[in-house]
Each structure stands twice: as structure tokens, then as C-alpha cells.
Amino acid sequence: MNSAPTISTPASTNIFSLGKYSTNFITIESRTCGFSSKVSTFSPPKPLLICSPTETGEFPVLLLLHGYLLYNSFYSQLIQHIASHGFIVVAPQLYTVAGPDSHEEIEATAKIINWLSEGLVHFLPPQVNPNLNKLGLAGHSRGGKVAFGLALGKSSLTTLNISAIIGIDPVDGMDKGRQTPPPILSYVPHSFDLGGSGVLVIGSGLGEIKKNPLFPPCAPKGVNHQDFYNECCKPAYYFVAKDYGHLDMLDDDTKGIRGKATFCLCKNGKCREPMRRFVGGVVVAFLKGYLEDDMRELTGLREGREMLPVELQRFECLV
């Protein structure tokens, strides 16, 4: 386990800015990495990047799943944004190389959720307690598909209840008719049976546009955010950012070959920072509503009382 220095953040009640909590990043290797003693006993099924408040308290937990062939570290700025508002964010590295089939990722996510109740507390600061009665599950791109797949029961049962489900520009394949297994979308309106959990779907307006003729769009029509939202039941919220792309919620600087590729493969907006702040803020508002029973920010978004860092292409809700 490696613990990064505490990151101090300015106190703020603005959901689109860093929150009032100081945060700390923690990295944990998986149990297959040969560690001994406590790390071996309690280490998780997959490597984890965790961002936690450092102040004393009990905090809800969000599990955030990365997109296809991306690293969990590419989401560090988004993760810190959410954690600074009083949440423990757990981001697993589900794989480094993967084929089209997502069954193993769904099963791995179920195992991580089951691990949380026995293992998470051993890696957090002693004054920080996770409230696992308040658990959210989020995923970006293919990770969004995995999140919905697990919530729809396409895996082993989990030992914890999920109270909030978030799809960040979720994608279910190449296009309609070419979904990757297991298929999540049935194209039957309001058919998702998620046990009454609150649902948030965030889409990118540029995700369905090709970057260049050599590559398909990163979030194609027929398998993207709109199709996921169409199958949601109440309560569900749907935001689409107009001038931003499928990877614009990642860190400003994503390193390495894969990191550089995130600027080349998808149609992007001019700058990542506004989209990342938007995604972070909407996620915070939603988590406060469905994990903390505080609907003020979410109601403000519904009623147009919040100043957004992006222009919306579409907003809908089922409540």
C-alpha cells in the first residue's frame, strides 16, 4: 500500500468546485501480487486507487469503473473532486488488456464489492469510516456497461446493496446489432429492473461523432447514453453536455501511450476541465441526493438554479 501526501482543498459548497474536505490518495495492490502480513490478508481482488477524506467521520462509498483499455489513474482529478465533497471513492483496475467480452469485469466488480465490507477499512486513515449502507456504483464507457450489468444481475450476487447507479457516457458495443457480450440494452423502454435504485446517466454531445475516418465514434448511436437512459425506470436523471467528448472527463495530462491516445481516438472538446468539473458536480449532487438524502443540489439542477460549467444539449428526469 502506498499513501500519497494529503491534498488540501479550499472549502467550498459549490458542487462544481473542489469541496471542503482535504483528501488523500491510497494505492493498493491486489492479493495476487505477493504481499505479506496485513496487506496479503486484506488485499482486494484487483488493484485499487482510493481517494478518501482525511477528516474524522463516516462517509458513503462510490465504486468507479474505468473505460475500455484505460487506467484508473486517468480519473484522478475527477476522483479527487468527488471525494472532496465527503465521499470515499474506490477505483479498481479491472484489467490492462481485454477482449470484447465483459463477463469477467462484471464478476470482478462483484468480488470487489463483496471485499469492501471486510477489507476497505484496513487501508483508510484510522479516523475515517466507510458507510457501506450507502454505496454507489459508477462506470465510464465500457465501465458504465459493467455497472449496469452488475446492477441488472448479470453476475454473482453481491453482499451489499447498491443505492445509486451512474453511467458516465456508457457504451454497450460498436453499434446497435453489434453489442459486446453480455448485451445490456434490450431496446425496450423503461425495462431496466434496478430494484428502485436511483440512476444517473451523463452523456457527451460529441461522443457519437467520428474523430477521423479511420476510427469509429467512441460512443456510437444505438448503444450509447441515450439508449441507456431510455431503458431506465424512475427515479432517473439524464444530462448531455453539448460540446464535449467521450474522454473529456479524464485528467488534463494522461501519460504514456494510452494516455496520449485518449487525445487522438475520440472527438474532443476544446478543454477537459469544464467537462470534468461538470461530471464531478453532477455526480456529487446525485450522490448527496441518493446516498445522503439531501436533494438540494439535485433539485437546483432540475430547476436550473445551478450555474453549469458546460452548455447542456439535453436534460431529462423521471421522478
Active site residue 12: no
Residues 18, 281: Cα–Cα separation, whole Å: 9
Catalytic residue (choose from 66, 85, 169, 248): 169
Q: How far is CA 280 from CA 18, 108, 237, 275, in A?
A: 9, 25, 15, 8
Residues 265, 162: Cα–Cα separation, whole Å: 33
Catalytic residue (choose from 73, 246, 248, 251): 246
Active site residue 141: yes
Beta-sheet strand order (sheet of 57-65): 2-3, 23-28, 48-53, 88-92, 57-65, 128-140, 164-168, 198-204, 236-241, 312-318
How many Å separate Cα 282 from the centre of its chain?
A: 12
Catalytic residue (choose from 102, 141, 155, 163): 141
Active site residue 252: no
The set of catalytic residues is 141, 169, 246
